[in-house]
Amino acid sequence: MEDGARERATDAAIVFENLARSFGEIEAVKDVTLTIPRGQICGYLGPNGAGKTTTVKMATGMLEPTAGRAIVEGFDIVQEPLEAKRVIGVVPETGALYTTLTPNEYLALVGRLYHIDRDETEAKAHTFLELFGIEDAADRLMTTFSRGMKQKVLISAALLPNPSVLFLDEPLSGLDANTALVLKELLRDLASQGRTIFYCSHILEVVEKVCDRVVILVRGEVIADGRVEELKDMTHQGSLEDVFSELTSSEDLAQIVRAFSRSVTGDGERSA
Amino acid sequence: MTTGADSTRKGRRATAVDWEQFRALLVASVRLDLRSTRMQRGRAAKFPPVAAAFATYLVMGTLLALAVMSTEDIFVFSLFTLSAAMFMTALLVIMEYSSVVVHPDDFDILGHRPISSKTYYWAKIANLGLYVAATAFALSIPAAIVAGVRYPPGAALTAVYLLVALAACQATSALVVLIYSVAIRVFNYEKFTRAITYVHTLSTLVIVFGYVLLPRVLAKDVMLISVERGAWVYAMAPAWFAGAVELAAGEAGRQTLVLAGAAVASAAALIWAAMNTISLDYSRRISALATASAKAVEEAGRRRSLGRLGLPLCRTDEERAGFELMRSYMTRDRKLRARIYPAFGLPLAVYIYGIITDGLHDPFVPQAVSGGFPAHQLLGFYSVFITLFFATAIAQTDQWEASWVFFAAPVRSRAGIVTGARKLIIWRYLLPFFVFLFILLAFAMPPAKAAMYVLLNLLLALTAFALLSMTSPHMPLSQSLEKAKQARQIGLIMLLGMSMAALTAILELMKQVPQAGLVVYPALVVLALGAELLLRRRLDRRLAGEEFPG
């Protein structure tokens, strides 16, 4: 590891240096530079196709950057992938699981991949599944699970290795209101213990409540970065939702809604 | 500061196998193999395709062993049975590469975990080894028992035969893995999936020529269960392994020793090479293989829009929807094409071989029966072979969850959607294939006779397509891909194809009675239409009550 990265690792958990990724002619992520200190919950927002998931994939070693680098806890994800991956937990947007395993079997697999003691894995798995209210389904194949149940298993798997950095891509997807509430509190608690959380979401109310800092990405570029209050002041808006709309939408939302409504009901076609 | 020693240590860690992770991944893979993803009445189906595939192989192995046990020569017996086992193994690994070696889900689930590519790759190879061993066992245990009973030195030969068969099948699968590993290195991501489609087809051709046809060619008589042992045995991989069995049976001639030595050396070399052909960024490449760039997909869509010309064949909106859906998938989903195109390899190989060796005669002339090419005996077999690939492929995709739309939409007839998808297959694949076959055969026989022969095959194919579709009566692209599902179906094709030999009676009738065609062709048209009607009724009944499988 280079000196610079090691030094940054002392206070920065995640560092993106001019991170970029292209797919052919499409530049999905352009020159993203961020430093996220340890213990911070950083909301990463953007419209569909802005490059959020691509950033997470690069930061977690699932996609190689075309330029720049991502450093997690001092480890360059491309140069030292195993070291970096040992300290991260990921809840992917895809929700991918081996559904023909049971939650207990899946968590046991995850535990062994991180060399966690078998008893410790079993105890943690039991606790997580109980807290999420799916302990009765712990030995059932996940083929029968709802999206929310699968999401609970994914979150449990991400937390199992006790990671110091968490990458969460739409973690509330499919979760019921109570579980979402538990997760939000859990994230705050983990952050207070020094864990760093990189939180991608479209649910702006949650981001506003949970995140210490918000980064907004549009067409692969960071267009805003700051605390929620700072962004509100900067844009003279009252809520993160309004801030987001102000910064990311170039069209009149009311006009879009009217056009949609006419299209759904067919009024536009009839009148035409 | 990174020191040289640090780099070396990190390099070693990155290329070393983590045995704890290896064991965990292997155990999980075996569990996944033994469980079905299919749902039956809200629960996972208890009988996985793997078990059904092994049962099919066991039946095939038994039939094969019984068919060639009349030969006095253990070498010939072993050559035929091992050829079949190696052929099936190669076909299995080629056809199911996406589930037995490369699994796109693995990357999403494991890509962000601290697993070295080598650990992952070895776990996958070990899983493949177990799978191939189980398959080889099911295919070869009947032949091993027959060998022990029929040939000296008796029971000990059973054990030796089984070991040789396992080694032969492992070497075969290692060869296929090597071909893929090289292809991954040679081609870029975009070209790889396209190349693999053709590799699949080409491999089928090579395997058919190499393992099935060549021994028969050299024997000059397809029905004769004996071979003239010339220098060709050194070029035939199954002959090497047959030599090893022969050596165990007490034959220690020079040729036998050389063949047995070649068997041991080739098995060791291929397995070693497969285990060590490690692409360090293998897992990352896998993810890239799962997707094609939007640009490439758009280009594919533009290039192949001729399929739309068949749209007028569809009578209802549902049929048109099914037709368009299948057209899009067949155009853009390379994995789907890679599963289907090899179906053409076997029949084309056989007919091309017939033309090259000048052995393909007019099948409607009585004296052609004694000719050296089995076209007259194989009537119907290849029609079934091809159509079953399509009948099963229509229902399967790894994007099966998208099929909820069929169950949510207020369609008047779900069967119509399936019919539309089937019409696309007939229009875009079966008809062009038979036109191509006609052109091919016109080089070997009068065009009128070629047309009659092709029409006969086409009518049988349409009948078979309808009947076989009844065994997979699901909405298009609504079933998940499962390991061994396709292998089991290939086994069924082989068994079903054997029974189609009875259809040669049609040709015999047409040879004996020149006017029989006036009855046979209309009868086959009625048969095809009747099968279509039966299918339509079954689909109406079956699909009306079908629920979304997710």
Are A149 and A169 in a shared domain?
no
Residue A110 lies in a domain: yes
- DSSP 3-state assignment of B116? coil
Q: How confident is the model at residue A151 (pLDDT cuts 50, 70, 90)?
A: very high
Are A113 and A142 in a shared domain?
yes
A85 with B2: Cβ contact below 8 A = no
CB-CB neighbours of B359 under 10 Å:
18
User: Each residue of B279-302: b (16+ CB within 10 Å) or e?
Assistant: eeebbbbbbbbbebeeebbeebee
Rg (CA), chain A: 20
Report the first-to-last Cα separation within chain B, whole angstroms: 52
- Stretch B446-461: mean pLDDT, rounded? 87
Q: Which residue has the higher pLDDT, A236 or B11?
A: A236
Give the per-residue pLDDT at A269. Answer: 54
Tell me: the pLDDT tens digits for A197-214? 999 988 888 888 889 999
A147, A162, A177 - which closes a domain: A162
Q: Between A61, A101, A141, which is nearest B111 by CB?
A: A61
Give the per-residue pLDDT at B330. Answer: 81
Angle between helices B414-425 and B517-544 (to 10 degrees): 140
> Count of domains in chain B?
2
DSSP conformation class of B396: B
Are B420 and B459 in a shared domain?
yes
DSSP string, B172-223: HHHHHHHHHHHHHHHS-HHHHHHHHHHHHHHHHHHHIIIIIIHHHHHHT-TT
Which chain A residue shows the shortest CA-CA distance from B7? A1
Q: Which residue has the higher pLDDT, B524 or A19?
A: A19
Q: For a pLDDT cut of 70, what percent of chain B falls above it?
A: 66
Are B238 and B337 in a shared domain?
no
Are A203 and A255 in a shared domain?
yes
A162, A185, A218 - which closes a domain: A162
Are B85 and B50 in a shared domain?
yes
> Count of domains in chain A?
2
Are A49 and A136 in a shared domain?
no
How deeply is A46 buried, as exposed, middle or buried, from its count of CB atoms within 10 A (0-12, 13-18, 19+)? Answer: buried
Angle between helices B485-499 and B74-95 (to 10 degrees): 130
| Alpha-carbon gap, residue A207 to A218, rounded angstroms | 17
- Stretch A150-172: mean pLDDT, rounded? 94
Contact (Cβ atoms closer than 8 angstroms) between residue B479 and residue B401: no
CB contacts of B191 in chain A (<8 Å) are none
Are B331 and B411 in a shared domain?
yes
What are the residues whose beta carbons fall under 8 Å from the beta carbon of B305, sequence distance 6 or more? none
Give the per-residue pLDDT at B40. Answer: 46
Residue B507 lies in a domain: yes
| Alpha-carbon gap, residue A35 to B394, rounded angstroms | 49
Residue for token pair 């050296």: B372
Contact (Cβ atoms closer than 8 angstroms) between residue B429 and residue B355: no
Contact (Cβ atoms closer than 8 angstroms) between residue A216 and residue A45: yes
A141 with B44: Cβ contact below 8 A = yes
Are A158 and A170 in a shared domain?
no
Phi, psi (deg, nearest 5) at residue B29: -60, -45
Are A264 and A179 in a shared domain?
yes
Boundaries of domain holding A148: 97-162
Are B492 and B379 in a shared domain?
yes
Are B333 and B203 in a shared domain?
no
CB-CB neighbours of B401 under 10 Å:
12
Q: Between A26, A96, A98, which is nearest B32 by CB?
A: A98
Lowest mean pLDDT among A107-121, B76-90, B350-364: B350-364
Q: What is the helix (H) or strand (E) element at residue A156, kind and residue range?
A: helix A147-159
What are the residues whose beta carbons fall under 8 Å from the beta carbon of B218, sequence distance 6 or more? B227, B228, B230, B232
Are A183 and A250 in a shared domain?
yes
Residue B294 lies in a domain: no
Are A69 and A121 in a shared domain?
no
Are A184 and A254 in a shared domain?
yes
Residue B4 lies in a domain: no
Boundaries of domain holding B511: 308-544
Long-range Cβ contacts of B421-424 (<8 Å, 24+ apart): B421/B322, B421/B323, B421/B325, B421/B326, B421/B394, B421/B476, B422/B322, B422/B394, B422/B465, B422/B469, B423/B310, B423/B313, B423/B314, B423/B319, B423/B322, B423/B323, B424/B307, B424/B310, B424/B322, B424/B323, B424/B326, B424/B327, B424/B330
CB-CB neighbours of B448 under 10 Å:
10
Residue B301 lies in a domain: no
Q: How confident is the model at residue B342 (pLDDT cuts 50, 70, 90)?
A: low
Give the per-residue pLDDT at B210. Answer: 52
H-only helix segments in B249-378: 254-276, 282-290, 294-303, 317-332, 334-340, 342-356
Give the per-residue pLDDT at B252. Answer: 77
Residue B112 lies in a domain: yes
- Mean residue pLDDT across chain B: 74
Residue A92 lies in a domain: no
- Stretch B220-239: mean pLDDT, rounded? 63
Task: Provide residues of A within 8 Å CB-CB of chain B.
Answer: 1-3, 23-26, 60-64, 80-83, 85-86, 88, 90, 92, 94, 96-101, 105, 108-110, 112-115, 141, 143-144, 167
Are A149 and A168 in a shared domain?
no
Q: Which residues, in sequence order, are bridge partners of residue A90?
A: A167
CB contacts of B105 in chain A (<8 Å) are 96, 98
B153 upstream amide cis, omega within 30 of 0: yes
Q: Which residues, in sequence order, are bridge partners of residue A221?
A: A218
A162, A177, A199 - which closes a domain: A162
B471 to chain A, any CB pair closer than 8 A? The answer is: no
Tell me: the pLDDT tens digits for B465-499? 888 788 778 888 888 776 666 666 666 666 665 55
Which chain B residue shows the shortest CA-CA distance from A7? B1
Residue A242 has pLDDT above 90, yes or no: no
- Stretch B313-326: mean pLDDT, rounded? 88
Q: Between B24, B36, B112, which is nearest A62 by CB?
A: B112
State the pairing for strand pair A213-218/A221-226: antiparallel
B32 with A100: Cβ contact below 8 A = yes
E runs forming strands in B31-141: 39-40, 43-44
CA A121 centroid distance within chain: 24
Q: Which residue has the higher pLDDT, B548 or A190?
A: A190
Q: What is the helix (H) or strand (E) element at residue A221, kind and residue range?
A: strand A221-226
Residue B296 lies in a domain: no
| Alpha-carbon gap, residue B112 to B117, rounded angstroms | 12
Contact (Cβ atoms closer than 8 angstroms) between residue A144 and residue B42: yes
B35 with A144: Cβ contact below 8 A = no
Tell me: the pLDDT tens digits for B525-538? 998 899 889 998 88
Are B259 and B336 in a shared domain?
no
| Alpha-carbon gap, residue B290 to B286, rounded angstroms | 7
Are B169 and B314 in a shared domain?
no
Q: How confident is the model at residue A66 (pLDDT cuts 50, 70, 90)?
A: very high
Sign, CA torsion A213/A216/A222/A226: negative
CA A223 centroid distance within chain: 19
Lowest mean pLDDT among A62-71, B107-116, B266-275, B360-369: B360-369
Contact (Cβ atoms closer than 8 angstroms) between residue B181 and residue B175: no
Are A170 and A243 in a shared domain?
yes
State the pairing for strand pair A88-91/A165-169: parallel
Residue for token pair 């095939």: B60
Lowest mean pLDDT among A61-75, B53-67, B183-197, B255-269: B183-197
| Alpha-carbon gap, residue B302 to B280, rounded angstroms | 36
Q: Which residues, in sequence order, are bridge partners of residue A33?
A: none
- DSSP 3-state assignment of B480? coil
CB contacts of B293 in chain A (<8 Å) are 23-24
DSSP string, A2-64: -HHHHHHHHHEEEEEEEEEEEETTEEEEEEEEEEEETT-EEEEE-STTSSHHHHHHHHTTSS-
Residue B1 lies in a domain: no
Are B378 and B454 in a shared domain?
yes
Give the per-residue pLDDT at A167. Answer: 96
Q: How confident is the model at residue B357 (pLDDT cuts 50, 70, 90)?
A: low
Sheet strands side by side (includes A67-72): A26-37, A12-23, A67-72, A75-76
Are A74 and A106 in a shared domain?
no
CB contacts of A93 in chain B (<8 Å) are none
A61 with B43: Cβ contact below 8 A = no
Give the per-residue pLDDT at A3. Answer: 47
CB contacts of B15 in chain A (<8 Å) are none
Give the per-residue pLDDT at A106. Answer: 94
| For testing contact with chain B, the best of A113, A150, A169 (most B CBs within 10 A) | A113
- DSSP 3-state assignment of B253? coil
CB contacts of A81 in chain B (<8 Å) are 14, 114
Give the per-residue pLDDT at B464. Answer: 83
Residue B546: closest CA among B426, B403, B434: B403
- Kindly provide the ipTM of the predicted complex, given to two decimals: 0.86
User: Each residue of B500-527: b (16+ CB within 10 Å) or e?
Assistant: beebbebbeebbeeeebbeebeeebeeb
Are B399 and B484 in a shared domain?
yes
B251, B284, B317 - which closes a domain: B284
Residue B5 lies in a domain: no
Are B386 and B273 in a shared domain?
no
Tally of CA atoms within 13 A in the half-sphere of B124 that contains its CB: 29
B284 with A92: Cβ contact below 8 A = no
CA B420 centroid distance within chain: 25
CB contacts of B14 in chain A (<8 Å) are 81-82
Are B30 and B106 in a shared domain?
yes
Tell me: the pLDDT tens digits for B204-229? 555 555 545 555 544 544 444 455 67
Q: Which residue has the higher pLDDT, B508 or B533?
A: B533
Q: What is the helix (H) or strand (E) element at residue A159, kind and residue range?
A: helix A147-159
Residue B507: closest CA among B517, B518, B519: B517
CB-CB neighbours of B492 under 10 Å:
20
DSSP string, A75-140: EETTTSHHHHHHTEEEE-TT----TTS-HHHHHHHHHHHTT--HHHHHHHHHHHHHHTT-GGGTTS
Give me the CATH number covering residue A43: 3.40.50.300
